[in-house]
Amino acid sequence: DGGITQSPKYLFRKEGQNVTLSCEQNLNHDAMYWYRQDPGQGLRLIYYSQIVNDFQKGDIAEGYSVSREKKESFPLTVTSAQKNPTAFYLCASRTQGASNTGELFFGEGSRLTVL
Partner 1 sequence: AQSVTQLDSHVSVSEGTPVLLRCNYSSSYSPSLFWYVQHPNKGLQLLLKYTSAATLVKGINGFEAEFKKSETSFHLTKPSAHMSDAAEYFCVVSDSGTASKLTFGTGTRLQVTL
Among 45, 52, 60, 61, binds partner 1 (CB under 8 A): 45
16/42 with CB nearer partner 1 = 42
16/39 with CB nearer partner 1 = 39
Of 109, 101, 110, 92, nearest in space to 30 by CA: 92
Shortest distance (Å) from residue 80 CB to partner 1: 26
Residues 113 and 56: their CA atoms lie apart, in Å, by 26
- Site residues (CB under 8 A) for partner 1, limited to 13-42: 31, 35, 40-42
50 binds partner 1 (CB under 8 A): yes
Residues 37 and 88: their CA atoms lie apart, in Å, by 5
**Amino acid found at 18:** N
- Site residues (CB under 8 A) for partner 1, limited to 78-107: 88, 90, 92, 96-101, 103-107
CA atoms within 13 A on the CB side of 79: 8
46 touches 40 (CB < 8 A): no
Interface residues toward partner 1, by CB under 8 A: 4, 6, 31, 35, 40-45, 48, 50, 56, 58, 88, 90, 92, 96-101, 103-109, 111
